[in-house]
Structure 1
Amino acid sequence: MIDAQGRIMQKLKNMKALLCGYYGKGNGGDEALLVSLLQMLPEDIQPIVLSGNPQETRKLYNVESCPRTSTFAVWQAIQKSDFFIWGGGSLMQDATSIASPIYYAGLMALAQQQGLKTIAWAQGIGPLNKSFSKWMTRNVLQGCSAVSVRDRASAKLLADWQMSPIIAPDPVWALESIAVDDILLASDVPKIAVTLRSHPLLTTKRLNSIAAALKAFQEQTSTHILLIPFQPEQDLAIAKTLHQVLENQSQIISLKDPRKLKGLFENVAMTIGMRLHSLIMAAAENSRCFALSYDPKVSQLMAEYQIPGWELSDLPEDTAKITQTWIDNYTNPNPLETATIKSIKDRALIHREVLLNGLQN
């Protein structure tokens, strides 16, 4: 006798879902969202991934992929798909440019016009400063068969629009990780991960302060520094700058597989990070964290999970104060408790139920 779950799976068999996000752009966090989505997607659904690098996406994840900026390729993909899924992250925000919400909302509106079921999955909505961005976002979300968000601020915004999204922790909390012990140098020395990214708030003066504080921290703790460029195009130059200051007491590690990237943090005693998903991966692998926030999404993570840190704009000018704060965080660890991490990971899997409900509704 086939149960309800079995009937649903049978109904979905051989259907195709077009996955839309900031994929194939070399950003470890967005790639982690893609892999999380692929892990949660019912196995009978055939994914088609819109990607900035379709060849690499196909190679890495063994999925069908097409170029995200090719009008013809995207149109073909929509025509042969049954579902359209926004696949996690801060897709609908206009803090940097209005181009992003226009692109993502435009594709979802087109998918809805063509009769595809649409799902907004694990979204971080905002900041939306322009009335046009808000109008677009609200309209396409109202046409979705399911909506889930990853933070309370997004949920509140949608509630103000008389919508009731499902809220659950970012799905990367539940991403399956792969151990990477073999690539680490100085294996017996405690590891500190540093994940900085280029941003107007990370001025040359602030970067120099961080570099000086990090060097003093390393000397006083005898730790080994792992410089991890989550998006090499933006982060690698910064990692190289820090590596020159730290010399043999550091190494730069670039990993394309987000499961290995997450697994790396299992070996890390403390993580100093700007990147949202570096902090999520680190906390999920029981590494104590210290955040340098450049964006409301990082500040929200800090507040929700009591992660210590500074707004980057408030970084102390006194490098000795920075060093001592990091030493205090390192010597008096207060990572999330194992039971708390398990609870967060379990709740992150709610996004899988949202997918299933949205696909069958």
Structure 2
Amino acid sequence: MNILICGWYGTETLGDRAILAGILKILGNTFQKGDVNVKIASLYPFLTKRTLIEDRNIYVSIAPGLNLTYFDVNNLGVLDREINATDLVVFGGGPIMDLMELEVIKYIFIKANKNRKPTAILGCGLGPLYRKQFKNTAKEILKHSNLVIFRDKKSVESSKELLKDPMIQFNYSHDPAILAGYQYKLHKQETRGTLKNYIAVNVRQFQNIGFRADKYVSETKIIELLEDVSKKYGMVKLIPMHTYGIGGDDRYYLTKLQNETKSENIEVVHKPMNLYQLFDIYSEAEACIGMRYHSVVFQTLLNGNNYILDYTDKKNGKISAFIKLFDTTNFYGDRYINVLEDTPSDKFLEIKEVLERNKHFNFESYIYEETLDKYVKLLKSIT
């Protein structure tokens, strides 16, 4: 069995790496007989080479028996050969959004369809899509997909609007990255010790995400927040979710914030981490604050005493869609700020007080089991 996984690999964040781990778990449970060869279509192969080395032991433990390699998706001859040789094409998570590289995924799906190869979108979110060019590209990808499982219900609704077809029936489940988080919890459940006296914080630079920076909360409020929580915790660890220039290396902005604070117990984690090293930091922290989507996901799954700074649209964004999918008790009602809104400084200074209550969200284990079962069952239906 040969499987081609495409997406944003080659520019992968730690979130993308967790998505890949989750998809490998799904594939391992779906195809349990014979050799399974998985090839990653990489936009920048040197980066994928590095991340596969860093995470290989994790992938082997999650999905033993899969053979995992990568290739240069920019080499058309190589790409065509891989499409012709594959038995299944997977768009492996992340956003379907306004990026030129979306054209590469369209090419793969159309060619695979012509060659009668099954295609699947597993765990993607739809949007943000603003430009007509990318809306049309997204339409073509959806039309050439034999199976679509979005990562949230909002993406299903958005796809009906995009395709102008209210009757279309796409599926949704949780982000595959949660499967990686669950495997980590199983791996660590016998060794996890007491929480350590630090708070883990991820924020990102607004100017790098395609919107007007002046629509967002002022940087001054972020600095005041960091200084405030530094008074409570022994250390404030600023955690990058991305350490590659394309997509925004978080370390530049986090270092800038560190330099502009007056507190001496604020540090940036500069050394690139593998997936489980990141999970260790979030799970062992006394509390967490997150902004990037997957930092919110992991802090919620692995810690639970976390506060969410949502930089996406409150109505249609991926973070609010994630919260709606699982927070049935409104636990995060007072643990959430949308930074697109004009939020007073006092609200940010309340974050420390909320986290000091030391209440933890309990992410039920059945959610993982139902998520894995749903992906496997639907994937088997097209292969």
Q: Same fold (TM over 0.5)?
A: yes
Deviation at 1:23, TM superposition (A): 1.4
Question: Please, which of 13, 34, 49 is the counterpart of residue 40 of structure 2?
Answer: 49
Matched, 1:353 2:377: yes
Matched, 1:227 2:238: yes
Please say if residues 88 and 124 of structure 1, whose CA atoms lie closer than 8 Å, have aligned partners that are also in contact: yes
CA distance in 2, matches of 1:121, 1:328: 39
Size of the aligned set, in residue pairs, is: 332
Matched residue, 1:194:
201
Question: Please, which of 2, 7, 10 is the counterpart of residue 24 of structure 1?
Answer: 10
Matched residue, 1:208:
220
Please say if residues 4 and 83 of structure 2, whose CA atoms lie closer than 8 Å, have aligned partners that are also in contact: yes
Matched residue, 2:348:
322
Change (3 A) 1:353 1:202: farther
Please say if residues 20 and 177 of structure 2, whose CA atoms lie closer than 8 Å, have aligned partners that are also in contact: no
User: Which structure 2 residues correspond to residues 253-332 of structure 1 after superposition, within 5 A?
Assistant: 253=269, 254-295=271-312, 296-304=317-325, 305=327, 306=330, 307=332, 308-314=335-341, 316-318=343-345, 320-323=346-349, 325-332=350-357
Cα deviations by residue, 1:179-223 (Å, 9 ceiling, x for unpaired): 5xx9x9xx974221111122236669822321122112221x134
Aligned-pair identity in percent equals 19
Q: Secondary structure at the match of 1:269?
A: strand
Please say if residues 288 and 306 of structure 2, whose CA atoms lie closer than 8 Å, have aligned partners that are also in contact: yes
Matched residue, 2:265:
249
Change (3 A) 1:354 1:257: farther
CA distance in 2, matches of 1:193, 1:246: 18
Question: Please, which of 58, 71, 82 is the counterpart of residue 66 of structure 1?
Answer: 71
CA distance in 2, matches of 1:231, 1:158: 28
User: Which structure 2 residues correspond to residues 154-173 of structure 1 after superposition, within 5 A?
Assistant: 154-159=155-160, 161=165, 162-173=167-178
Change (3 A) 1:322 1:315: farther
**Structure 1: gaps spanning 5 or more residues:** 1-14
Please say if residues 304 and 359 of structure 2, whose CA atoms lie closer than 8 Å, have aligned partners that are also in contact: no
Deviation at 1:125, TM superposition (A): 1.1
Deviation at 1:27, TM superposition (A): 0.9
Question: Please, which of 324, 329, 343 is the counterpart of residue 366 of structure 2?
Answer: 343
CA distance in 1, matches of 2:146, 2:140: 13
Root mean square deviation of aligned Cα: 2.8
Task: Supply the AA of the counterpart residue of 1:191.
Answer: Y
Q: Secondary structure at the match of 1:316?
A: coil
Change (3 A) 1:229 1:38: same
Q: Secondary structure at the match of 1:66?
A: strand
Change (3 A) 1:206 1:68: farther
Please say if residues 215 and 246 of structure 1, whose CA atoms lie closer than 8 Å, have aligned partners that are also in contact: yes
CA distance in 2, matches of 1:69, 1:293: 34
Please say if residues 291 and 302 of structure 1, whose CA atoms lie closer than 8 Å, have aligned partners that are also in contact: no
CA distance in 2, matches of 1:16, 1:258: 25
Deviation at 1:57, TM superposition (A): 4.6
Deviation at 1:87, TM superposition (A): 0.3
Q: Secondary structure at the match of 2:10?
A: coil
**TM-score normalised over the length of structure 1:** 0.82
Change (3 A) 1:58 1:127: closer
CA distance in 2, matches of 1:243, 1:279: 21
CA distance in 1, matches of 2:173, 2:262: 39
Cα deviations by residue, 1:48-102 (Å, 9 ceiling, x for unpaired): 0012234325534372101232222222221221111000111x212xx4x1432
Farther off after superposition, 247-256 or 81-90: 247-256
Q: Secondary structure at the match of 1:282?
A: helix
Change (3 A) 1:209 1:115: same
Matched residue, 1:108:
109
Q: Secondary structure at the match of 1:283?
A: helix
Change (3 A) 1:194 1:143: same
Farther off after superposition, 49-58 or 18-27: 49-58
**Structure 2: gaps spanning 5 or more residues:** 57-66
CA distance in 2, matches of 1:211, 1:29: 25
